[in-house]
Amino acid sequence: MLLAFFGSANNASADVDGVRVWQSPANTRLVFDLSKPHQHKIFTLQNPYRLVIDLGGNAQFKPKVNKVDLASTLVTSLRTGRQKNKDLRMVFQLRADVNPKSSILPPNKIYPHHRLVVDLIEKNSRSIEPIRTVKTVADKVAHNKRDIIVAIDAGHGGEDPGAVGYRRTKEKVVVLKIAKKLAALLKAEPGYKPYLTRTGDYYIPLRERTRKARDANADLFISIHADAFRNSQAHGSSVFVLSERGASSEESRYLAQKENEADLVGGVSLDDKDDHVAMTLLDLSMTATRGSSLAAGKSILGRMGKISRLHKKRVEEAAFMVLKAPDIPALLIETGFISNPGEAKKLATSRYQKKMANEIFKGLTQYFYKEPPEGSYVAWKKGGGKSNKVVAARKASSVKKSRVANVKRYTIKRGDTLSQIAQKYNVSVTKIRRLNGIKNNSIQVGQRIKLPAS
Ligand SMILES: [Zn+2]
């Protein structure tokens, strides 16, 4: 049983004004708009699996129960009732057993309510995600050259709509469409493999987006957006790289600040202190990829200038949290300002989304042709596809790559020991030590180690 008490001691009721359910591959997020923060009690029942939430006081459930959209989620049905002590009881019937985790988020510009956010993580689903084995060209054809992997990150999603523009056009919808169109182009291009951080309407925390890109062995990370600015006249597309010193303009500072609030809107409670330590460590190792980020950004900006007015002629800089990837060149692309009526109208059309995806595609393939990663099909093709020595060397590097694909990663948690981990994942301590170059038993909280995938 999970008990949580929030809010004031006075007895005025906290009504439920709205309910939203978001399903992602990793979890199910239930969000309740509350008229004020209040005590709640959460527990699960079995046979059948149910999640029960009791809200104190004389809370009213305002939405129509049958209007709550549960399609394609873990929840099969919802009913509400009243306990003897007058608590409001909400019962969600579920397809699987879950561990619930709840928090209350304060109001913000997008959500004027307090929100009770309940994340449901399926029990028995594996606690560590295996590295997504991105198959390389070497698996399919004889030349043994790997694909360039491009991680495409459609901004926002789920509880976080992003900017909302003309005729309620939502940024999260537009950017997912552009991202999918870009992925389709890359999929069809020999030597490239796209990886989408999100494929549907759900929110992914900012840190999680780059982690996914790393696990997919991405060569480049592109986050796609269509933001709003205070001034509805602002228009044009832009490309950003991470800046550690400060923003290149007041507008970019404003945009980065808004973007970095996304976790709050998306329903992530910011009480994970370990994450802050991890972030500081990341900051230290980031300068290495800056040159590549700038070069790729310049190439893409040049192409985008062919179909839209550029907001600025140069690649801009700002402290976007989502760009903090330690070892992957990373870009944030503003495809336009959704706050500008003319641009919002264009961005909402499939034709323009396709044009935008096409120019980003051209910009990034031109960049990779100029600077192909070693061992890639594009490098091999550029070199005329010959030279035995080079082929042999690259073969070796692609073997290394495929070995990496046979491991999964595990992040050390407080209280973990090597022998416990070994036992849990059915490998020997020696094997873990060898795989990670660990000499003794010393491991640290937050350290990521490799484990054999099978
Ligand atoms: Zn955005």
User: What is the pLDDT tens value at each position of the chain, 454 positions in all?
Assistant: 455 544 444 456 789 999 999 999 989 999 999 998 888 899 999 999 999 999 987 889 999 999 999 999 999 999 999 998 889 999 999 999 999 999 999 898 889 989 999 999 999 765 444 445 454 444 445 567 899 999 999 999 999 999 998 888 999 999 999 999 999 999 999 999 999 999 999 999 998 998 899 899 999 999 999 988 888 888 889 999 988 677 788 888 888 888 888 888 888 876 554 454 455 445 544 556 888 999 999 999 999 998 888 888 899 988 888 888 767 899 999 999 999 999 999 999 999 999 999 999 999 999 999 999 989 999 999 988 754 444 444 444 444 444 445 678 888 877 788 888 888 888 888 888 888 877 777 777 778 888 887 6
CA of 171 to the centre of ligand 1 (A): 7
Instruction: Provide the whole-model pTM.
Output: 0.76
CA of 238 to the centre of ligand 1 (A): 12
* 77: Cβ contacts below 8 Å, ≥ 6 apart: 70, 92, 93
CA of 29 to the centre of ligand 1 (A): 21
CA of 176 to the centre of ligand 1 (A): 11
Query: To which residue do tokens 């190439």 refer?
Result: 299
CA of 48 to the centre of ligand 1 (A): 40
CA of 151 to the centre of ligand 1 (A): 17
Cis peptide bond prior to 48, omega within 30° of 0: yes
* 133: Cβ contacts below 8 Å, ≥ 6 apart: 405, 406, 453
Beta strands per DSSP E along 226-328? 238-242, 316-318
The CA distance from 206 to 213, in Å, is 12
CA of 265 to the centre of ligand 1 (A): 12
How far, CA to CA in Å, does 423 sit from each of 400, 415, 450? 27, 15, 15
Strand order, beta sheet including 88-94? 2-4, 40-45, 50-55, 88-94, 75-82
CA of 225 to the centre of ligand 1 (A): 4
